[in-house]
Amino acid sequence: MRWALVSDGSRVNGVVHARALRAYLAHLAVERGSSPNTLRSYAADLRRYLDHLHAGGIEDLAVVRESDVTAFLAALRSGPVPLAASSTARALAAVRGLHRFATREGLVPVDVTRSVVPPALPKRLPRTLTVDQVEQLLAGCIGDGPVALRDRALLELLYSTGARISEAVGIDLDDLDLAERAVLLRGKGGKQRIVPVGRPAVAAVEAYRVRARPVLAERGRGTAALLLNARGARLSRQSAWHALRAAAEIAGVEADVSPHTLRHCFATHLLAGGADVRVVQELLGHASVTTTQVYTHVTVDSLREVYATAHPRARG
């Protein structure tokens, strides 16, 4: 049996397989700028895939057939420890990436994964809070200290703009235009968008910027970040998440509150209020409107409940 080392020090069956895997992981790291977590996940999925091929006597990607790929997916779903559909879909994404790269580099004549269909993922509607619950959550940011004022500004911004937590902590002072009540957000893939900011959020940000940020900034080495931690550096996503959970606990919000909760609430409440789905798509920074349309299911469910209890022909 021949073994070869891949870039992370682990072993993969087959010298040809290992060479393709090394080249692909290097491509992801250098040219695509993939994160260490992504590289680890892809490496693990692809090691499993290449070992599956080796067990079937396949030592060269050039002879892999579409049926070999589908057999691998079937093995993932029915093995001793069956993978969920989402994990299987992630593994297929890694396999597709490897074959696409190998085709482009001339290592294989054709990409056999092009027609492979990923397993259907269960439709999970985003968890949201009611407007009253959001008000209750925002009321959980109490106190006049620098951290309390910062957390209030953070939560108000998240709900007012629909920003991802990573986008919110990435806001710099120059990104804010409080006079125009707008903020520049930097989204996935470096895409930027300008989003309106509501009056309560403007008031919370201004109170933080004037009364709290200078105090926090004195403890650091100077940064353009709007939201600072207790050491005067840019607030991290983890710290922002803890601030959100702490506010929920103080406010007595029993619903599960995640880093994306206020983003989901932003979209759902806009649509429930009559906003066009295309407008919400632009505000959220979604590349496709189909991503945004998941929120229409939430609002339809709430409308159906109202209809069932209010319309005379809905009963019985």
Catalytic residue among 99, 164, 186, 269: 164
Query: Does the active-site annotation cover 213?
Result: no
Q: Which two tokens stand for residue 46?
A: 């692809």
pTM attached to this predicted model: 0.60
Catalytic residue among 186, 263, 264, 269: 263
Say if residue 78's pLDDT is above 80: yes
Closest CA to 141 of 242, 217, 261, 229: 242
**pLDDT above 90 as % of the chain:** 39
Catalytic residue among 17, 47, 150, 286: 286
Say if residue 9's pLDDT is above 60: no
pLDDT value of position 278: 87
Q: What is the CATH architecture assignment of 131-257?
A: Orthogonal Bundle (1.10)
Q: What is the pLDDT of residues 152-173, one digit of tens each?
A: 999 999 999 999 999 999 999 9
Catalytic residue among 24, 49, 159, 295: 295
pLDDT value of position 305: 65
- Top mean pLDDT of 64-78, 201-215, 286-300 is at 201-215
On whether the CB atoms of residues 177 and 183 are closer than 8 A, the answer is: yes
Catalytic residue among 32, 188, 199, 297: 188
> Binning pLDDT at 50, 70 and 90, where does residue 7 land?
very low
Closest CA to 8 of 53, 18, 31: 18
Least confident of 114-118, 132-136, 281-285: 114-118
CA 253-258-262 angle, to 5 degrees, is 80
Query: Does the active-site annotation cover 231?
Result: no
Query: Does the active-site annotation cover 260?
Result: yes
Q: What is the pLDDT of residues 211-267, one digit of tens each?
A: 999 999 999 988 999 999 999 999 999 999 999 989 999 999 887 787 788 998 998
> Binning pLDDT at 50, 70 and 90, where does residue 301 land?
low
pLDDT value of position 10: 40
Could you say which of 3.40.190.10, 3.40.50.1000, 3.40.50.720, 1.10.150.130 is the CATH number of the domain covering 3-104?
1.10.150.130
> Binning pLDDT at 50, 70 and 90, where does residue 295 land?
confident
Mean pLDDT (the chain) is 84
On whether the CB atoms of residues 165 and 235 are closer than 8 A, the answer is: no
Query: Does the active-site annotation cover 263?
Result: yes
Closest CA to 267 of 255, 249, 285, 253: 285
Catalytic residue among 260, 269, 297, 313: 260
Q: What is the pLDDT of residues 19-42, one digit of tens each?
A: 778 888 898 888 888 888 888 889
> Binning pLDDT at 50, 70 and 90, where does residue 302 land?
low
Query: Does the active-site annotation cover 295?
Result: yes
Could you tell me where in the chain the CATH 1.10.443.10 domains are found? 131-257
Could you tell me where in the chain the CATH 1.10.150.130 domains are found? 3-104
